Amino acid sequence: MSDAPAMRELLGENAPSNWGKWGPDDELGCLNYLDTKEVLRGVQHIRSGEVFTLQIQMGRTDGPGDPLWPGRSGIERQNILDEGSWDGEGAPAFPGGLHYADDTAKIFLQGSTQYDALGHVWYDGKLWNGYDARTTVEGMEKASVLPIAEKGVVGRGVLIDMARHRGKDWLDKGETFDHNDLEAAAKAQGVQIEPHDILCVRTGWLKYWYELNDKEQFYDGFNEPGLTYSRELVEWFQSREIPNLVTDTIANEVTYEPETGVALPLHCALMRNLGVALTEIAWLDDLADACAADGRWSFLYAAAPLKVVKGTGAPVNPIAIR
Ligand code: UVW
């Protein structure tokens, strides 16, 4: 048993919270900030019409495979019908000679670029907005990914390139940064992180995954780089009313908080307590290169995860238009 403190001890009895802010039945949390005004504000950041798709490829076979949280596996896609299925006796026949291919797939809903449901993580038996954790049994009755998928996520996106800011191709294992570093990088990039911005943060970690091409080394001492917990950082997210954090890491924060060893406290502090939506495993490198080339770091961000009823999360292919 680890001697890390309990989540409640780390985050505090009176941790910053948005529970109840949007009523007792809310399942959208900070995505409520993204109203029609925010959509129109985002549209104003389209200048050149370049489109970037931010999902990684699912089921790549030419490299290390898909980057995943330990214990999860990548998509298992199986071909059910192909040209061979139409040969011989008993083959299906459609008037006109139509042939087609069909696949099935077994996937972890968190096994690619994805939105976490707001209820995906919890502590002390309570999810986002105070829902009982027993509502997760055999499918999420509350704060599943479905409300996020029904709403869609559209607004002004801003990209902070922490790897570039630190002069690195990618951050190191366990390397951390905080809100002050985000502000400093934004200033150096000549952009402001504004209230209600969809905050995209690049660490280069996915580039490391593909370029390293060595799973054993990648997972050895697994500790992703990322944002690290402090109460001030959580208050910063709350006061800026950030609706959505998008990163190119598997779990959006340093895996183990360095001082205490607690795993993924920001999942609890930001998602469970504040209702900030988390988007993980986003491919931000091409977007970052384009932003760096002309110094424009804001864009229209649009995403909608798949509408999985009771889902703990769902794959998504977000789009940035600049
Ligand atoms: C966990 O919750 C463990 O990870 P993720 O948010 O990446 O799904």
Q: Does residue 2 have a pLDDT over 90?
A: no
Ligand 1 midpoint to CA 69 (Å): 7
The reply to whether ligand 1 has any atom less than 6 angstroms from the CB of 110 is: yes
* Cβ neighbours of residue 225 closer than 8 Å, sequence gap 6 or more: 170, 171, 172, 173, 174, 175, 176, 177, 203, 205, 249, 254
Bridge-based pairing of strands 226-227 and 176-177 is parallel
Closest CA to ligand 1's atom 5:
251
Q: How confident is the model at residue 254 (pLDDT cuts 50, 70, 90)?
A: very high
For the entire predicted model, the pTM comes to 0.97
Give per-residue pLDDT as tens, 303-322: 999 999 999 999 999 999 99
What's the chain's length in residues?
322
Single-letter amino acid code for the residue at 95 = P
Atom of ligand 1 nearest to the CA of 278: 6
Bridge-based pairing of strands 298-303 and 319-321 is antiparallel
The reply to whether ligand 1 has any atom less than 6 angstroms from the CB of 251 is: yes
Atom of ligand 1 nearest to the CA of 250: 7
Atom of ligand 1 nearest to the CA of 251: 7
User: How many other CB atoms are found less than 10 A from the CB of residue 149?
Assistant: 21
Atom of ligand 1 nearest to the CA of 281: 7
Closest CA to ligand 1's atom 4:
251
Please give the domain boundaries of the chain with CATH numbers for all domains.
Answer: 16-66+109-321 (3.50.30.50), 76-106 (no CATH)
Give per-residue pLDDT as tens, 196-242: 999 999 999 999 999 999 999 999 999 999 999 999 999 999 999 99
